[in-house]
Amino acid sequence: MTNYLKQLNQSQMQAVSNLQGPMMVIAGPGSGKTRVLTYRIAHLIKSGTDAFNILALTFTNKAAKEMRNRIETIVESHEAQNLWMGTFHSVFSKMLRIEAEKINYTSNFTIYDTIDSKDLIKSIIKEMGLDKDIYKTRLIQNRISSLKNNFIRPEDYENSPELLQTDKIARRTAFGNIYQKYMQRCFKSCAMDFDDLLLNTYHLLNEFPDVLYKYQNKFQYILVDEYQDTNHVQYLIIKKLAAMNENICVVGDDAQSIYSFRGANIQNILNFKVDYPDFKTFKLEQNYRSTSNIVSLANSLITHNKKQIAKKVWTKNQEGEKTIVCKTLNDNEEGRIVANTIDELHFKENANWKDFAVLYRTNAQSRALEESLRKKNITYKIYGGLSFYARKEVKDVLAYFRMCINPKDEEALKRIINYPTRGLGVTTLQKLIIAANKQDVSIWEVISNLEKYELKINKGTAEKLSQFATLINSYIVQKDNLDAYTLAEQIAKTSGVFYGLYNDKTVEGVSRFENLQELLNGIKDFSEKEGEENNTLEYFMQDIALLTDADNEKEDDHNKVILMTIHAAKGLEFPYIFVVGLEENLFPSMMAMDCREGLEEERRLFYVAITRAEKRLFLSYALSRFKWGQYTDCEPSRFLKELNKTFTKQSEIALTQKKKNHNPYQIFAKTKTQKKKSNFIPKNLKRVSAINADVTPTKTEHLQVGLKVKHSRFGSGKILKIEGEYANKKAIIFFEAVGQKMLLLKFAKLEIEK
DNA sequence: AACAACGGGCTTTTT
DNA sequence: GCCCGTTGTT
């Protein structure tokens, strides 16, 4: 047995070493799921499998990257670079670029992001002369996406009386028409949206037996992470690919399924049993992440779900502190308390900023938190929200790049045809679109051959259009000869975009210009990093198309408090977790509450949130929250009642909002014992917190410079200096083990050594 | 074509 | 409250 296998427990070991045949690993939170996946892949490679023959599908690109690095370390070779590993979207877009011709695409196809696809749907609705209040873009977009994820194409839709009836009732009879037109327009633009990447992959494997055969042979071993969050099309793809060898290993946790809105389907777990009757199941139930209090708390919550696979998550870890549940007046106070507690823990427990994460249900909640953190000078980073590449100015420049890689890209063209202004306004664009639709060609085709398409435009406009075409063509000619940065810089400057933004001296304008600079810097890094073969703009665009903010981490972001939605926190872990906004209609969300499935998913989401915590967990809710421009009263979340009270501690609220010099530390908890013990602290300096509630403050009177002391964590040390008074009394101590530290004495629990 | 003024809707969650 | 899109004005 090789050395690296010794680092696994028995169930992990079994899951890693069972290489052949279909298998499912049910892995509780913190049970070493990623470990199993990485070691399993490493073990496959070590056992002689060619990395080229392994397909590993992960939930995020970041996870794939980290796993690849870890595998490389274990197998001690660069073999891991040959793995096909990444998200469904990135792996299959790679496959689609190779096989594009088969499905009548070209390999330079554009990937439309949500904004592109929204814009396209909007213009289709407008062109069709439909009422935009009945045909709401967002709704249509979601419906199209959901149909695609369930492998219902426009023709399937038209053949489904059920679906037709739904839209008939909603008076959206033109939906099928929109759906069809949307698909056609994407195709004509040589573009795929996120869902198309999956849909077309399945289409490719389904319609072309030779392609299927090729990849079935190639992927002798298939691994799927977060299997509980795969959707129907993803399921179909995996099933196809695995059909020949049946060496498929899926890993997941039904209790952590939180993406049903994206088409994720627990049914896939049940289907697995039908498709591979002789499959093996492995359960990873020992939690290595959290204290036993946190594990027990999470277990007490999830038992309220009816639908789940039986398993018992347990831990050998120490008991730890109880979870604190905190009632607050409003969202601002909630933010303030979170910020204060983080600040205090940062100091008291010598924690790094990056050890903290604040999790919330909706992105909108980040605002109050941000304000509080900023006031306390706590360095933080928000994940989610508007991604860098989604910013208008960035998208505008990228549209030029997209045009020179794929000039058929309609959404890119619409963005830049009159940016910067060149006298080609809406009227001209409308004429172009009508002509293009009529002849079933791309807009670019029309612009490139104006005389052929008999447009009713005047000579001046025709001249401007041909100038525009010449400009784009001049970029296209250069695209294969120049590296990404040189070309990008040239486009930015010669198109006039660069100077347009440069001359805008408003606050927003300056910020936009900075973003453009940042984009160019990013491209520069890319050009320098990649080899000469791969440093073209085309490769850069492929690289960024499927990136999320999480993949885009900057160096200086590494030690910051993290703010994100619970969805974004999936798969992550932090020593200190704050879950905020535990209120009815917010968490559980209003949208999800009316059906059992929805509510159970919200509960799983809360389960995910709780189980992110390693050491300490804080839950809070507000009595009032600023919503839609006014304060709304809130009720505590039903989930709080479901938690077993043995593992929580209610923090008493002192509604001191109106008091002058009110110190929020007092709010977090003021237990009765605390009041007694803290008598010697003058009132105005009383700084007490819940996290500290049952700690007796050190008698600081006897401490003086030169004394030898002992600290519970840092060991023996010598006091170098004492400063501050009363509760703020601090000592600089030199510890033999860890060096010099400044400690606030009331927290430090120092013992005097003789 | 560009800008100001106004009104409506919005909050789930994301590749 | 804020963003977005629409309308009206020059």
Q: Running along chain A, 754 residues long, what does each successive block of 10 average in pLDDT?
A: 79 93 94 93 93 94 90 88 93 96 95 90 86 84 90 92 86 88 93 94 96 96 94 94 95 92 82 91 95 96 89 94 93 92 93 94 89 90 80 88 93 88 84 88 92 83 90 91 91 87 77 86 88 86 79 72 92 95 91 86 95 96 87 92 93 46 37 30 27 32 66 67 56 66 58 60
Return the axis-axis angle of helices A267-275 and A232-242, rounded to nearest 10°. 20
Q: CA-to-C1' distance for A374 and B15, Å?
A: 31
- Distance, in Å, from the CA atom of A79 to the CA atom of A376, rounded to the nearest integer, reads 47
What are the structure tokens assigned to A694, written together? 């049952």
Q: At A630, give phi and psi (nearest 5°).
A: -150, 165
Q: Which residues contact A527 (CB under 8 A, 6 or more apart)?
A: A483, A484, A485, A486, A535, A540
Q: Residues 620-679 of A near strand C (Cβ < 7 Å)?
A: 628-629
- How far apart, in whole angstroms, are the C-alpha atoms of residue A242 and residue A224? 11
What pLDDT sits at residue A71?
Answer: 93
CA distance A265 to A273: 14
Copy the structure tokens of residue A417. 């045809």
Does the CA dihedral A334-A335-A338-A339 come out positive or negative?
Answer: negative
- A34 has catalytic annotation: yes
A332 and A627 Cβ atoms separated by less than 8 Å: no
- What's the pLDDT at A698? 38
Tokens of A144: 């199209």
Q: Can you give the distance from the CA of residue A628 to the C1' of nucleotide B10 in angstroms?
A: 8
Number of Cβ within a 10 Å radius of residue A351: 17
Pairing of strands A356-360, A380-382: unpaired
> What pTM was computed for the model?
0.84
pLDDT of res. A663? 38
Edge to edge, the sheet with strand A23-27 lists A84-87, A54-58, A221-224, A248-252, A23-27, A280-284
Residue type, A577: I
Name the token pair of A49: 């499998």
- Three-state DSSP class for A576? strand
Instruction: Identify the DSSP state of A663.
Output: -
C-beta within 7 A of nucleic chain C, residues 127-166 of A: 132
Nucleotides of chain C in contact with protein CB (under 7 A) are 1-2, 5-6
Torsion-angle region of residue A724: left (phi > 0), alpha (psi -120 to 50) or beta? left
Q: Tell me, what's the pLDDT at A13?
A: 94
Residue A386: nearest nucleotide (C-alpha to C1'): B14
What is residue A125's predicted lDDT score, i.e. its pLDDT? 86
Contacts of A738 (CB under 8 A, 6+ apart): A714, A715
Q: How many CB atoms lie within 10 A of CB A101?
A: 9
Q: Which residues of A387-402 are buried (b: 16+ CB within 10 A; e: fewer)?
A: bebebebbbbbbbbbb
Contacts of A323 (CB under 8 A, 6+ apart): A293, A294, A297, A610, A616, A617, A618, A619, A643, A647, A648, A649
User: Which three-class secondary structure state does DSSP give residue A87?
Assistant: strand
Tell me, yes or no, if A254 is annotated catalytic: no
Question: Per the residue annotation, which of A12, A33, A62, A666 is the catalytic one?
Answer: A33
A400 CA – C10 C1', rounded, Å: 32
pLDDT at A171: 80
Q: What is the C-alpha radius of gyration for chain A, rounded to an integer number of angstroms?
A: 29
